[in-house]
Amino acid sequence: MEIKNLLKYNRHWEKDFKYPFPKKRDIFNNVLGYLNERQIVEVAGLRRVGKTTLFFQIINYILEKGTNPFSVWYFTFDEETPNLEDLITNFSYQTGVDFKLNKVYIFLDEIQKLPNFQNQLKIYYDLYPNLKFFISGSTSLFIKKKTQESLAGRVFSFFLKPLNFREYLYFKEKSYILDKPFAFSYEIEKEFDIFLGSQFIEAIEIKESIKRKEYLISIMKKIIFEDIPSTFPVENPEILWRIVQIIGQNPGVMIDYQSFSREIGISNKTLSSYLYYLEESFLLKKIYNFSRNMLTSEKKLKKFYLSSPSFCTAIFDFVDKGKLTENLVISLKDYRFFWRDSYKHEVDFIFGKDQEIVPIEIKYKEKLFEKDFKNIFIFARKYNCQKAIFFIKNLKEEELILKGLFIEEKPIYFL
């Protein structure tokens, strides 16, 4: 297969060209640390979080170190899907660079759209040590299943999340307000409210609220009506959109599959599949009701969030601020559990590490009252916890001990 115009994907081949993205996400230096490692670097994440921009910034860095621009190859599978052999052959021919003799950096965007990509990559990785691959993808199957099956031990994996609040302020050139939080408390609160609806770099640049919402909805609809049907057997994408709307209106909703499937007019099996597709595309996040027995957790009710509170605000004009903040936390943290007992006592998130279980509550308020601690104490007694965390609307981190439980109060702004 002949690919006639690789230059359109590789502007850096032009004399003195530099990609115009000076501001970098926090993840940039982490990925850069693996530049000289043999292994493939993979970056997964939701559409429009900045994977392609990250690649262009790494290309800029490589070129600044004096690398021949024609030894750096970029391609996206968004438009066409040539097999890897054809692609590399075309690159080598058009650049005049022999990858068998010279170090070559290859950046492959949205690689999950290339059928059997993992086995094609494996061949070139194993046989041609001069090739350094960077790959990106927008589905969870890409990062979890296929690379683990065929590329185990050959890949360093990164997940690029939506912006945190500090990154958001950095892109707005307002980082200084977090450096002096007590001087700029009013400004911080105002910007945080805007941030909840602008967790994407391009959304920050859209000043009009209506246009910003249209932009965010366009991301969701592209995933629902284009990406998912191209990967999974979806008969009715409109049902996917309906599910997203319901969850977006009530972030953290607990779904009983049987009653929910009846409500939207599909079978229990189809609902389960559709929720799975939305998760795999990174549009939904699911967490389980905590139990020491994972099998028991799987059988209980599950909570669902959209992958960003900005999606919620794009769909509906009013969503409870506490729920939005809860959704923000799950968009930035890898929490897998909440807790709810038969008496409806509930804790927002449960984090486990090194045998330690930590209950976490999100309270979008400046001061905590006695009733705010009730469910935490019940959980702590049941599971013998030593520590709990509250993320609150405050500027100062505090520590206290109540009923023998060590409690950290952390500002929601510093997630």
What percent of the chain is predicted at pLDDT more than 70?
A: 96
Structural domain includes residue 66 = yes
Structural domain includes residue 283 = yes
Token pair 């409109």: residue:
238
Residue 88 pLDDT > 90, yes or no?
Answer: yes
| 28-77 pLDDT, tens digit each | 999 999 999 999 999 999 999 999 999 999 999 999 999 999 999 999 99
* Pairing assessment for the beta strands 302-306 and 253-255 based on DSSP bridges: antiparallel
- Evaluate whether 327 touches 313 at the Cβ level (below 8 Å): no
Say yes or no: 353 and 255 in one domain.
yes
Q: Which residues of 292-319 are buried (b: 16+ CB within 10 A; e: fewer)?
A: eeeeebeeeebbbbbbbbbbbbbbeeeb
Grade residue 153 by pLDDT with cuts at 50, 70 and 90.
confident
User: Rounded to the nearest 5°, which phi and psi values hold at 302?
Assistant: -120, 150
- Highest-scoring range by mean pLDDT, 149-153, 290-294, 302-306: 302-306
Grade residue 83 by pLDDT with cuts at 50, 70 and 90.
very high
| 325-381 pLDDT, tens digit each | 999 999 999 999 999 999 999 999 999 877 889 999 999 999 999 999 999 999 999
List the single range of 18-22, 116-120, 249-253 with lowest mean pLDDT: 116-120
Residue 148 pLDDT > 70, yes or no?
Answer: no
pLDDT, residue 298, reads 62
- Please give the Cα distance from 185 to 192 (Å, whole number): 11
Instruction: Quote the Cα angle for 224-48-231, to 5°.
Output: 35
At 39, which CATH number?
3.40.50.300
Residue 411 pLDDT > 60, yes or no?
Answer: yes
Helix (H, G, I), strand (E, B) or coil at 383: helix
Structural domain includes residue 110 = yes
pLDDT, residue 297, reads 61
C-alpha to C-alpha distances, 150 to 260, 283, 301, nearest whole angstrom: 37, 26, 34
- Please give the Cα distance from 362 to 384 (Å, whole number): 21
- Evaluate whether 215 touches 206 at the Cβ level (below 8 Å): yes
pLDDT, residue 321, reads 94
Structural domain includes residue 173 = no
Say yes or no: 397 and 254 in one domain.
yes
State which residues form the domain around 67: 7-159
Grade residue 141 by pLDDT with cuts at 50, 70 and 90.
low
Chosen domain end from 100, 134, 159: 159
Neighbours of 221 (CB within 10 A): 14
Structural domain includes residue 27 = yes
Structural domain includes residue 224 = no
Say yes or no: 397 and 274 in one domain.
yes
Residue 143 pLDDT > 60, yes or no?
Answer: no
Which neighbouring-strand residues pair with 390? 361, 409
Structural domain includes residue 166 = no
- pTM (whole model) above 0.85: yes
Residue 230 pLDDT > 90, yes or no?
Answer: no
Chosen domain end from 94, 126, 159: 159
Say yes or no: 20 and 124 in one domain.
yes
Structural domain includes residue 116 = yes
Alpha-carbon dihedral 325, 195, 244, 392, rounded to 10 degrees: 0
pLDDT, residue 295, reads 57
Count structural domains, the chain: 2
Say yes or no: 151 and 243 in one domain.
no
Chosen domain end from 159, 184, 203: 159
